[in-house]
Amino acid sequence: MSDWVERFSIEGRNALVTGASSGIGAEICEVFAQAGAHVLATGRDAKRLAQVQARILSDGGICETVTADLTTVEGAEGLVRQALAQQGTTDILVNSAGTAIVGPAISYDVADWDATMALNLRAPFILAKGLAPPMIAAGHGKIINISSQTGVIALPDHAAYAASKAGLNGLTKALMTELAPHNIQVNAICPTVVLTEMGQKLWSAPEKANPFLAATPLGRFGEPVEVADMALYLASPASDLVNGALMMIEGGYSSV
């Protein structure tokens, strides 16, 4: 194996990926498995998790699944226990599970606000809190938070989502300061609209999509594999010096 392949390999590493039943999370599971990781895919939809697992196994990868509801404290803490029981040490944690409930701030339902924060921000904190101690004991680890460009720039009707992702970006940097001395890298990926099922549902209307695309120098939305490839980089030894970064994958939107 050539040196550059080794640097981007995660062969034999234990990876936990949340939100794995569809979209970005499912794509990350498949890319990680192709790069040699032992993947534990988690989500709320057991049937769709089984489909992700079947694709990975048919490609010669290693994948287990566990259903978990990360909208509750009990669900997130239970996933920590399950991951440690199945993996021993989780070398790579990818917090990909998320929700986007959009609407004007002045009429936004507080229950939707709380639901957004529970999944997008509280769950990643609980998982990092529970899985970091074994990483510390092992002397290495990677925590990758799937954030959003909306955590950095403003969009109308996204108050709760933007606040949750800005909080996730802040959590990323705060965890980095505590875990870096233990050789644990904590980074966030901030993509543009990604054409998952959720992305297509929220951005299919031309009157909404076209102004956004016009403000994006590259002129297009993202694909799930582009986020998964960045996650692979951040999970691999190639990125060992990258820490506390907000990796913008958004076609140049925030640079103009």
**Distance separating alpha carbons of residues 187 and 107, to the nearest angstrom:** 33
What are the φ and ψ backbone dihedral angles of 66, each rounded to 5 degrees? -150, 130
Tell me, what DSSP letter sits at residue 17?
Answer: E
Active site residue 253: no
Instruction: Identify the active-site residue in 108, 161, 233, 253.
Output: 161
**Distance separating alpha carbons of residues 125 and 120, to the nearest angstrom:** 9
CA 238 to chain centre: 19
Beta carbons of 178 and 172 less than 8 angstroms apart: no
Nearest of 100, 132, 143, 140 to residue 234 by alpha carbon: 143
> What residues form DSSP beta bridges with 43?
67
**H-type alpha helices, 139-250:** 159-179, 197-203, 206-214, 224-235
Residues contacting 178, CB < 8 A, separation 6+: none
**Which region holds residue 248: left if phi is over 0, alpha if psi is between -120 and 50, else beta?**
beta
Pairing assessment for the beta strands 62-67 and 14-17 based on DSSP bridges: unpaired
> What residues form DSSP beta bridges with 62?
38
Residues contacting 156, CB < 8 A, separation 6+: 104
The residues annotated as belonging to the active site are 161
